[in-house]
């Protein structure tokens, strides 16, 4: 960052030089007031919409989650409805709902397996592509990145066809080899979904890692090579430690992505009877809102989901950040 | 530099090839299947063509089915993603530029709010957003998908980092001495110097909106407002009763994937520069 301020206004001392806010603090001057006004104009459109689309929904959901709908008609049907304050009843209900909790357990298991697998694969591919032994790098890089251009829903439709017996060439080939596979069975469908997610995002993560590898000065490798380090040693002791920040970044985004798991199970649902409306927490909240028509319960579940995502992301950041400091 | 041993080159090439097969075969299947009609989709081997491949004819059927609803979905997707990404880029640029270049009290606090926004999962927000918009009478309109799409905390984050590094204070001061107003300085200098970051923000947001499924799913009930993804899943939902929709789903998926994949491949370079900005300085 360039902090060199060319003072073109020789002699014009009526205003203090702007020092990027890092200089000795000056009394609130006209410059500062003008700064604040200009900044306000620039940031206002974004923050107004940010407030509408991020803060207000969270506030509204928190509020909604504290109420329940009471129907006052005969038999509780029809008649008038009114909103009654219920405290944490919706949360208590969500947290004692077996299907909701099972869904959480399922995505956590999914993440614990799929995220490390994907990141290891992405790292391996990035290192292979950046190694001196690789040929045809632009082709392979594009090939690996291509699935990122396929939206989750399309990827799920696509793989869905590759999973369903009768249309899938994979099932047919496996059958011809005497291997009776069922990608959509109760025990396997979660891993079939993991395959879709891995297929889509490995190339993207690989590109993030390559970007960071490129930022490493080449002399570093040259020096290690002169010292007699092999390709594997350079990867293990120089490259991987240096791409830590990118690994952390991909890790955090993967955790957030996993908790949102929705499109894949939603699309595969008609094909796989083992996927129920509580398969993932998100699917559960969605069914609660649109099938069960219970906004308040859905709001509570959405809040819980956001909370868990934040705790996990920040926890992961702290964990990895702390270790990096310990090493340095 | 010494040449790596042949053994290394062979191992590397085979590993890369296996990986390429994994990533490309499903796309290859989609391309082959788009040349088949319903009967052949089920009746012929998936990894090879049928006896009568008719891609043009079958893809034309996709486009004309149900009064050309597919073309409408495609246009909707382009509208949401195009307009949404342009607006998101401009809003992010203005906010990021101001956060980088105008020291004011509460600046860091504001920036931390943006960072928290990056970490909030989008789908956890979509339901509350629907409740709010529906209370405001905005659900099931173009606005319901467009408004949330123009807010990109990640864009602000990237623009701030980039502006801090790429827009020199001295240049802004010089422009001020010359008597230019802040808006003109931003439009003429700031935006131009931030172009690489802006391209990245635009691309990320475009893909993000294009791929978004949950938000339109909860917001929209009128199929005329659907983006492609939502339209295609509505077809698969009816395919049990109308098997020809399997064929149209495959053809529609193929048509929607091709332009984006071309864009992806061409623009990889920009992604890399953007990603470096984002990750290295985080």
Indicate yes or no: CB of A145 within 8 angstroms of CB of B107.
Answer: no
How close, in Å, is residue A54 to chain B by CA atoms? Answer: 7
Q: What does the mean pLDDT of chain A come to?
A: 84
How far is the C-alpha of B47 from the C-alpha of B50, rounded, in Å? 10
Query: A94: closest CA among A317, A268, A290, A302?
Result: A302
Q: What global pTM score does this model have?
A: 0.86
* Residues of B with Cβ-Cβ distance to A256 under 8 angstroms: 119, 121
* pLDDT band per the 50, 70, 90 thresholds, residue A19: very low
CB atoms within 10 A of CB B105: 12
Range list for CATH 1.10.3720.10 in chain A: 103-322
CB < 8 Å to B99, chain A: 39, 43
Give chain B positions within 8 Å (CB) of A161. Answer: 29, 33, 250
Q: Quick one: tokens of B66? A: 């149900």
Q: State pLDDT tens for residues B161-188.
A: 999 988 999 999 999 999 988 999 999 8
Distance CA A42, CA B183 (A): 9
User: Which structure tokens are listed for A27?
Assistant: 């009394």
In percent, the amount of chain A with pLDDT more than 70 equals 87
Which helix H or strand E contains A60, and what residues bound it?
Answer: helix A56-64
pLDDT greater than 60 at residue A234: yes
DSSP H helices, A131-230, are: 137-145, 152-163, 169-176, 189-214, 218-226
**Rounded CA separation B238/B252 (Å):** 15
Indicate yes or no: CB of A285 within 8 angstroms of CB of B150. no
- In DSSP terms, A67 is beta-bridged to A85
pLDDT in tens, B109-129: 999 999 888 888 887 889 999
- Other CB atoms within a 10 A radius of the CB of residue A71 amount to 13
Q: Which residues contact B17 (CB under 8 A, 6 or more apart)?
A: none
Contacts 24+ apart (CB under 8 A), A68-77: A68/A296, A69/A294, A69/A295, A69/A296
Whether residue A327 is predicted with pLDDT greater than 60 in this model: the reply is no
Alpha carbons A297 and B150: distance in angstroms, whole number: 29
Cα–Cα distance measured from residue A135 to residue B63, given in angstroms and rounded to the nearest whole number: 41
Rounded CA gap, B59 and A67, in Å?
A: 50
Per residue in A274-283, pLDDT tens? Answer: 899 999 999 9
Domains with residue ranges and CATH for chain B: 55-278 (1.10.3720.10)
| Rounded distance between C-alpha atoms, residue B268 and residue A142, angstroms | 8
Is pLDDT above 90 for A16? no
Q: How far apart are CA A269 and CA A277, in angstroms?
A: 9
CA-to-CA dists, residue B145 to A289, B104, B128, angstroms: 18, 33, 14
Percent composition of chain B: helix, strand, coil (DSSP 3-state, to 5): 80, 0, 20
**Residue B270 — very low, low, confident or very high, per pLDDT cuts 50/70/90?**
low
Are the beta carbons of B33 and B45 closer than 8 angstroms? no
Question: Does the pLDDT value for residue A81 go beyond 80?
Answer: no
- Which DSSP string corresponds to B91-118? HHHHHHHHHHH---TTHHHHHHHHHHHH
Residue of A161, A202, A305 with shortest CB distance to B121: A305
- pLDDT exceeds cutoff 70 at A188: yes
Q: For residue B272, what are the contacts with CB-CB under 8 A and spacing of at least 6?
A: A207, A210, A211, A214
Q: Which of A46, A161, A207 sits opposite B272 (nearest CB)?
A: A207
**A205 vs A126: CA distance, rounded Å:** 9
CA distance A322 to A310: 18
Say which residues have a Cβ less than 8 Å from residue B192's Cβ, sequence separation at least 6: none
Q: Which residues of A touch B246 (CB under 8 A)?
A: 167
Q: Do A32 and B229 touch (CB under 8 A)?
A: no
Distance CA A280, CA A108 (A): 10
Q: Which residue of B has its CA nearest to A12?
A: B177
Could you read off the pLDDT of B205-243 as tens digits, one per residue?
A: 998 999 899 999 999 999 999 999 999 999 988 887 888
Interface of B with A in 112-151 (CB under 8 A): 113-114, 116-117, 119-125, 127-132, 135, 147-148, 150-151
- CA distances to A149, B188, B272 from A200, rounded to whole Å, are 8, 39, 17
> In the structure encoding, which two tokens stand for residue A10, read together?
């020789």
Residue B214 with chain A: CB contacts under 8 Å: 260, 262-263, 282, 286
Q: How far apart are the first and last CA of chain A?
A: 24
Instruction: Give the torsion through C-alpha atoms of B167, B171, B176, B177, to 10 deg.
Output: 170
Cβ-contact A231, A131 below 8 angstroms? yes
C-alpha distance from residue A75 to each of A68, A72, A79 (Å):
17, 8, 9
Q: A259 and chain B: CB distance < 8 Å anywhere?
A: yes
Nearest to A103 by CA among A304, A299, A254: A304
CB contacts under 8 A, B 49-88 vs A, are none
CATH of domain A103-322: 1.10.3720.10
Structure confidence by residue, pLDDT tens digits, A21-71 = 444 555 557 777 878 888 899 999 999 999 999 999 999 999 999 998 887
Cα-Cα end-to-end distance for chain B: 33
pLDDT one-digit tens code per residue, A195-226? 999 999 999 999 889 888 887 777 888 888 88
Q: How far apart are CA B99 and CA B186, in angstroms?
A: 13
User: Among B95, B128, B268, whose Cβ lies nearest the Cβ of A61?
Assistant: B128
């Amino acid at each position: 960052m360039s902090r060199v301020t060319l003072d073109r206004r020789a002699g014009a001392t009526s205003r203090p030089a702007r020092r990027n806010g890092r200089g000795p603090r000056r009394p609130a001057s006209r410059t500062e007031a003008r700064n604040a006004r200009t900044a306000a104009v620039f940031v206002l459109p974004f923050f107004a919409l940010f407030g509408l689309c991020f803060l207000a929904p969270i506030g509204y959901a928190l509020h909604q989650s504290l109420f329940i709908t009471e129907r006052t008609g005969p038999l509780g049907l029809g008649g008038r409805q009114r909103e009654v304050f219920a405290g944490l009843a919706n949360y208590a209900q969500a947290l004692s709902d077996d299907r909701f909790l099972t869904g959480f357990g399922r995505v956590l298991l999914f993440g614990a397996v799929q995220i490390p697998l994907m990141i290891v694969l992405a790292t391996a591919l990035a290192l292979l592509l950046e190694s001196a032994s690789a040929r045809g790098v632009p082709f392979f890089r594009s090939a690996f990145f291509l699935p990122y251009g396929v939206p989750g829903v399309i990827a799920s439709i696509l793989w869905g066809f590759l999973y369903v017996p009768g249309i899938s060439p994979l099932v047919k080939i496996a059958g011809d080899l005497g291997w009776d596979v069922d990608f959509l069975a109760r025990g396997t469908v979660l891993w079939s979904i993991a395959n879709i997610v891995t297929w889509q995002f490995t190339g993207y993560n690989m590109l993030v890692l390559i970007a960071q590898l490129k930022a490493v000065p080449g002399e570093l490798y040259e020096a290690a090579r002169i010292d007699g380090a092999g390709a594997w040693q350079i990867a293990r002791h120089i490259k991987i430690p240096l791409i830590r920040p990118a690994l952390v970044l991909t890790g955090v985004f993967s955790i957030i992505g996993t908790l949102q798991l929705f499109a894949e199970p939603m699309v595969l649902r008609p094909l796989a009877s083992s996927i129920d409306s509580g398969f993932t927490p998100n699917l559960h909240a969605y069914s609660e809102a649109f099938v069960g028509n219970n906004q308040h319960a859905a709001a509570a579940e959405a809040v819980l989901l956001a909370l868990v995502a934040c705790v996990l992301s920040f926890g992961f950041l702290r964990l990895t950040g702390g270790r990096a400091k310990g090493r340095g | 530099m010494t040449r790596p041993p042949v053994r290394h080159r062979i191992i590397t090439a085979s590993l890369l090839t296996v990986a390429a097969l994994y990533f490309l075969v499903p796309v290859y299947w989609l391309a082959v299947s788009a040349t088949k009609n319903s009967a052949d989709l089920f009746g012929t081997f998936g990894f090879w063509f049928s006896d009568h491949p008719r891609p043009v004819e079958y893809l034309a059927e996709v486009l004309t089915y149900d009064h050309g609803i597919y073309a409408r979905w495609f246009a909707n997707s382009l509208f949401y993603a195009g307009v949404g990404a342009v607006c998101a880029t401009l809003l992010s640029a203005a906010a990021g530029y101001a956060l980088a270049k105008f020291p004011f009290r509460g600046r860091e606090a504001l920036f931390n709010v943006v960072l928290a926004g990056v970490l909030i999962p989008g789908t956890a927000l979509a339901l509350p957003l629907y409740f709010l918009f529906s209370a405001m009478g905005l659900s099931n309109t173009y606005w319901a998908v467009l408004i949330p799409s123009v807010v990109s905390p990640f864009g602000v984050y990237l623009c701030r980092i980039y502006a801090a590094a790429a827009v020199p204070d001295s240049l802004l001061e010089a422009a001020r001495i010359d008597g230019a107003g802040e808006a003109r300085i931003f439009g003429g200098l700031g935006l131009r110097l931030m172009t690489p970051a802006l391209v990245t923000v635009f691309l990320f947001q475009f893909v993000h909106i294009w791929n978004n499924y949950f938000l339109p799913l909860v917001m929209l009930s009128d199929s005329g407002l659907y983006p492609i993804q939502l339209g295609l899943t509505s077809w698969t939902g009816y395919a049990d009763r109308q098997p020809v929709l399997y064929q149209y789903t495959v053809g529609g998926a193929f048509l929607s994937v091709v332009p984006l994949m071309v864009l992806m491949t061409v623009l990889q370079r920009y992604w890399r520069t953007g990603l470096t900005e984002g990750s290295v300085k985080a």
